Chains A and B, each alone.
Chain A
Amino acid sequence: MIQLYHVYKAYGGEQYALHDVTLTADKGDFLFITGPSGAGKTTLLKLIFCAEQATRGQLLVDGVNLQRLKRSAVPYLRRKIGVVFQDFKLLGERTVFANVGLTLEVTGRPRAYIEKKVRQVLRLVGLDAKENHLCCRLSGGEQQRVAIARAVAANPIIVLADEPTGNLDDEITLEILELFREINRRGTTVVLATHNRELIGKVPGANVGILRQGRLVAAGVARQVMAQRSALEISSQGML
């Protein structure tokens, strides 16, 4: 579903935000991208939904080579990818319904379909009672749910989420994570970037890629990789 081969991303000069990253996520995978701030997690997601272009390497999403993708074809690829942004990117002065419906509006769906679908995804995220509320009046957790509803409204094959639990308390964090698991159970590939390692252990069967200063330092089945990392960290502390 998502394949990255020796991907580099430089923002001018020789400073690489991503350095030789090779990573794959199959259909229906739940992939965590983790690492400290500035490791390149957001850049990696941006490359996948064509907000940025790789400096070198090959990226394939649903069989489409992004390095060869024409600008005019980008919107059609984005319709296959739902994105939950770190800062939500919601229109505060618009209603919950309007924000979620925007994803469907841009594809030219008829009004009746939009109404039906938006209510369906609002039920999924537990906000069906608040469809007429302005987004700026919602709590952080609710806004995050709106962002998730918008990301899944158009039935994407991939959902990307950038630090979706960054500013939420533990209880809400677990609820949000459960939502992503539900989305994943329905067959959607989920790529979730987070610096919170605790989250990774809460999704059985998930994969993980660990980034450090733009380099992929470990990748594989989350439980194994995290166990190896923990052992490595303990032994290095022992040596000190």
Chain B
Amino acid sequence: MRIGMLVYFLRKALGNIWTNPFLSLVTLSTISISMLILGLFSLIYLNVQQSLHQMGGELQITAYLHETISSEQAKVLRSKVADWPEVEEITYVSKEQALSRFRSQLREYAGILEGLKENPLPASLELTLMPQYGRSGNIKELSTRLGRLPGVAEVQYGRKWMAKLRVFVEVMKLVGITVGGLLLIATIFVISNTIKLTFYSRREELEIMRLVGATDFFIKAPFLIEGLLHGLGGALLAAGGLSLLILFLFSHLDLPLRLAVMAGSLPTGQLVAGFLGLGLLLGVLGSMVSLRRFLRP
């Protein structure tokens, strides 16, 4: 296609937008609000999921050993468990090390242990998991396997709230997909309606153009570009709105530390690019829906 032709189509598309400013404003607002809501959902979902992923990677399992087990037996056990593919790192913590760690970490409560004749803390093996094994199901299975080993008295992998958080994330995902899907359909509908109205307002001219030899493409192209511009404009507004919202949340709200850090390190460029891509797609789809109906032979 020649540049001159492209400029002609662009001029026509801008002319369409200019002659229906109110309609264009409503369309832009609808697209940007829909995309903003969608973006918020995606953001929260990505944020919590990434947090979970990181926490999963850091997750430790502690296997407390029987009182009767000797340090040699414990070391054999350690080297056995160290060979498991899920385990990134394993540390043997003897009874004495556990006691000194307790004393140094909880100095103000150190007095509790003064009256005791013998060390009540058990020896333990502390496992750090490979990040890819940090999912809930795997941890549970691993801790069961660990508990069955001779010499292991109890296994703890704490943070039960993580399981609840995962359920929350799954629910969020489902709600996000449903609401997002509906909003996207609504957006396509709004764009297609706008194009339809513009088409109606110019139908006389388009009919004449057809009669004097305009191809379908020549008639369609300005409307496709109009839809595309609406989609892009809406996406830009939504991306801007979302960035402002993130900045506001980041600076004004007392978010949990991890979430706040995440919000600060979001891939903004990718987010904007994603929004623009989605805007373009919605614009073209919206235009095509109405043009297909109107340009049927």
Contact = CB atoms under 8 A, between A and B. Distances in A.
6 contacts: A72-B215, A91-B204, A106-B213, A106-B214, A108-B218, A110-B4
Given A75-B215, A76-B213, A103-B213, A91 B205 contact: yes
Interface string A122-157: 000000000000000000000000000010001000
Contact of A83 (B204, B207, B211): B211
B5 interface: yes
Contacts of B215: 72, 75, 106
A154 B216 CA distance: 19
A78 B5 contact: no
Contacts of A108: 2, 4-5, 8, 218
Given A71-B297, A75-B215, A106 B209 contact: yes
Contacts of A85: 211
A85 B297 CA distance: 21
Given A89-B208, A91-B204, A106 B218 contact: yes
A234 interface: no
Interface of A: 49, 51, 71-72, 75-76, 78-79, 83, 85, 89, 91, 102-103, 105-108, 110-111, 150, 154
A85 B204 CA distance: 14
Interface of B: 2, 4-5, 8, 204-205, 207-216, 218, 297
Nearest first, the 8 A-B pairs at minimum CB distance are A106-B214, A79-B213, A78-B213, A103-B212, A75-B215, A75-B213, A89-B208, A108-B5
A102 B212 contact: yes
A191 B119 CA distance: 115
A75 B208 CA distance: 12
B212 A106 contact: yes
Nearest to A106: B214
Nearest to B214: A106
Nearest to A105: B8
Contacts of B2: 108
A149 to B, nearest CB: 12
Contacts of A103: 212-213
A78 B212 contact: yes
Contacts of A75: 210, 213-216, 218
Contacts of A83: 211-212
B211 A150 contact: no
Nearest to B219: A106
B13 to A, nearest CB: 15
Given A72-B215, A76-B213, A79-B213, A102 B208 contact: yes
B208 to A, nearest CB: 5
A71 B210 CA distance: 12
A155 B4 CA distance: 22
Nearest to B12: A105
Nearest to A79: B213
